[in-house]
């Protein structure tokens, strides 16, 4: 007999979240839920509040009103946009994995292996390529076996191949760790392939749902169509200046 489908409780839930900074509304009336093994992706133009929302969800900033519900026992792994390392600091990947606290050797190895960079154990952090560095940051987020993995534009600066490989790895991580994944991303094409649920943010959530639903939404098209037009205008402006100078 088929079993009735009972939706599992979300691992993280935000209700009526509002954030104002210096009196200016940055996020308004945000509702979201994140379930185990679900990939939710946040997209939105520059300055639309994506990073602010991530910070509010992980408790790095306090919302002006509304609430974030998350079980205190859950482990959260976080992959930042980028890492600024002093290139003169002689630090190996293995040492970096043990900051700020030491982990068991086999846990470090497992995390590096699951992120696809087990061979970089003794490499100098300053010598890593952009793609390798992002994998090491992913490994560090995985070391505590997170229930929720949060990535804030983790593929910034990678080429198309690097982006595709990284998302493939995220898909494997979801399966092996059975974690919920929340990503901020600008890689619209890959988002549309990878995410289970897409939230399109512009101060408030202007559309959301399955990727194909969001992609065909007029709000999404208005936002990203406009951004493309702006990029084109910038390009034209720059191009004309160069042509005038010549």
Ligand X SMILES: Nc1ncnc2c1ncn2[C@@H]1O[C@H](COP(=O)(O)OP(=O)(O)OP(=O)(O)O)[C@@H](O)[C@H]1O
- Residues found near ligand X in the complex (CB under 6 A): 21-22, 26, 44, 46-52
Which strand ranges, in their side-by-side order, compose the sheet holding 65-70? Answer: 24-34, 12-21, 65-70
Nearer to ligand X, 49 or 211 (CB): 49
CB closer to ligand X, 39 vs 200? 200
- 179/184 with CB nearer ligand X: 184
- Shortest Cβ 12–ligand X spacing (Å): 18
Residue 142 beta carbon to ligand X: minimum distance, rounded to whole angstroms: 23
Q: Within the chain, where are the H helices?
A: 50-57, 93-97, 105-114, 130-142, 160-177, 188-194, 211-215, 218-245
CB 27 → ligand X: shortest distance, Å? 8
Q: Whose Cβ is closer to ligand X: residue 114's or residue 134's?
A: 134
Cα distance between residue 24 and residue 43, in whole Å: 21
Tell me the angle at which helices 130-142 and 105-114 cross, rounded to the nearest 10 degrees: 130
Query: Would you say 51 or 194 has its CB closer to ligand X?
Result: 51
Q: What is the DSSP letter of 44?
A: -
Least distance in angstroms from the C-beta of 16 to ligand X: 18
Angle between helices 130-142 and 160-177 (to 10 degrees): 10
Whole-number minimum distance, CB 110 to ligand X, in Å?
Answer: 32
29 beta partners: none
Nearer to ligand X, 53 or 115 (CB): 53
Structure tokens at 192: 């549309």
Distance of closest approach, residue 112 Cβ to ligand X, in angstroms: 28
Backbone φ, ψ for residue 70 (5° rounding)? -155, 135
Element (H, E) at 199: strand 197-202
């Amino acid at each position: 007999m088929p079993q009735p489908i009972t939706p599992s409780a979300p691992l993280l839930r935000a209700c009526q979240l509002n954030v104002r900074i210096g009196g200016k509304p940055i996020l308004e009336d945000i509702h979201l839920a994140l379930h185990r093994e679900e990939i939710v992706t946040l997209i939105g133009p520059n300055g639309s509040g994506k990073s602010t929302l991530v910070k509010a969800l992980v408790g790095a900033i306090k919302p002006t009103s509304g609430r974030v519900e998350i079980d205190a026992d859950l482990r959260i792994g976080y992959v930042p946009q980028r890492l600024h390392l002093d290139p003169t600091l002689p630090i190996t990947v293995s040492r970096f994995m043990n900051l700020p606290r030491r982990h068991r050797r086999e846990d470090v190895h497992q995390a590096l292996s699951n992120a696809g960079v087990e061979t970089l154990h003794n490499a100098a952090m300053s010598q890593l390529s952009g793609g390798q560095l992002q994998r090491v940051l992913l490994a560090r987020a995985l070391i505590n076996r997170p229930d929720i993995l949060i990535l804030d534009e983790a593929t910034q600066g990678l080429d198309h191949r690097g982006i595709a490989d990284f998302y493939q790895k995220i898909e494997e991580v979801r399966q092996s760790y059975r974690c919920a994944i929340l990503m901020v991303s600008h890689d619209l094409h890959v988002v549309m392939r990878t995410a289970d649920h897409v939230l399109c943010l512009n101060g408030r959530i202007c559309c959301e749902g399955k990727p194909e639903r969001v992609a065909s939404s007029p709000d999404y098209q208005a936002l990203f169509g406009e951004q493309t037009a702006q990029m084109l205008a910038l390009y034209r402006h720059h191009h004309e200046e160069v042509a005038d100078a010549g």
